[in-house]
Structure 1
Amino acid sequence: MLALADELRSRGAGLRVLNLGGGDVDTATPMGSMLFTIMAALAQMEHEIKRERVMDSINKRREAGKDLGGRPRRVTESQIRSAVRLVEGGEPAAQVARDLGMSRATFYRRSRALTNQHGAT
């Protein structure tokens, strides 16, 4: 927002925000520019605090071994293992992935993750 206000100012225009905290803010005036800068700084601070809280929550859930949410997987690990055996037996990976209802890239990513998971245990 500050970059936008500076760009407008450099072009000889101003930004007028109506109804910001009960009054108008006109960035063409020194007082309006100061208020706009303060509001932008507060918005940035609030965004960073929110992001910090989300990351903290994700890290705590990850450390506790809890589910992080997201879309539930339609294809199970058992189905991926069976599909990998089909590919190893000569079936085209693209066809096997299509039969599972996923892209070839997703099939490769899931099979690699499964291999890494079982290789680490």
Structure 2
Amino acid sequence: MMKRIGYARVSTSGQDTDRQVTDLLAAGVRRDDLYTDQGVSGARASRPAFDRALTALEKGDTLVVTTLDRLGRSTANMLSLAAELRGRAINLKVLNLGGGAVDTATPMGSMTFTVMAALAQMELDIKRERITDSVSKRRAAGKDLGGRRAQFTDSQVMNARRLIDGGQPGTQVARDLGMSRATMYRRMAQIQAREWIGSQTE
């Protein structure tokens, strides 16, 4: 027999799910088929009651939520979940989406999710394009791209020391070496301190 599995969630322990529960029961969800997460953020990968609700769903069943954001914070993740449910022949019903109920079991509900998926994909493509463009501009300008910074040997740092002693500007030497001027001088001081300590213990 096809069931309606209801899911309710609030992000903080100070909130309650009473309103969501009332709406879900009114939508035909049996209390025994109702799962609630209290004080659990939608951004969390694991939501105990939600995981149990997904496990309880069988082919032909319908997952019912009051609003789409009960499923998570990310539009992409929510649409991915909807696609996963469709793959399992499970419907998703959102009681309040754009002012009305949307059920993927209906042609209109399915179309709504298709449009949302297309918009979410477009948003991801735009973000990816912006990131690629930003990296290209920073690389062209010779700016730091982030990630793991280069590790410099004591020999490289002391070669920089000799260049400075020979009259080269410290700022230029640090730039050529690929580190900040302050970091370069700090490394020089650390090396000299180690050498001095070593000479005192000989």
State the TM-score, normalizing by the size of structure 2: 0.33
1:7 maps to a residue whose letter is: G
Map 1:98-117 to 2 at 5 A.
none
> Once the 2 structures are TM-superposed, how far is the Cα of residue 63 of structure 1 from its aligned partner?
1.1
Inter-partner Cα distance in structure 1 for 2:88 and 2:93: 11
Which residue in the other structure is 1:105 paired with? none
Indicate yes or no: 2:93 matched with 1:21: no
Does 2:81 correspond to 1:6?
A: no
1:80 and 1:22 map into 2 onto residues whose CA distance is 68
Hey, what's the Cα distance between the residues in 2 that align with 1:80 and 1:7? 60
Shift of residue 15 of structure 1?
Answer: 1.2
RMSD value, Cα: 2.6
Q: Which residue of 1 aligns with 2:124?
A: 47
The answer for unaligned runs of 5 or more in structure 1 is: 83-121
Equivalenced residues, count:
77
Aligned: 1:78 with 2:158: no
TM-score by length of 1: 0.52
Higher strand share: 2
User: Deviation of residue 16 (structure 1)?
Assistant: 1.5
Aligned AA (1:23): G
Tell me the secondary structure at the aligned position of residue 153 of structure 2. helix
**Whose relative contact order is higher, 1 or 2, with alpha carbons under 8 Å and at least 6 apart?**
2
Evaluate the alpha carbon distance shift between residue 76 and residue 8 of structure 1 in structure 2; reply closer, same or farther with a 3 A threshold: closer
Look up the equivalent residue of 2:87 and give its one-letter code.
E
Q: Kindly name which structure, 1 or 2, has the bigger radius of gyration based on alpha carbons.
A: 2
Question: Is the 8 Å Cα contact of residues 16 and 26 (structure 1) preserved in structure 2?
Answer: yes
Identity %: 62
CA distance in 1, matches of 2:155, 2:120: 45
Deviation digits for residues 8-53 of structure 1, max 9, x if unmatched?
33xxx31113433333221000000000110011101101111110
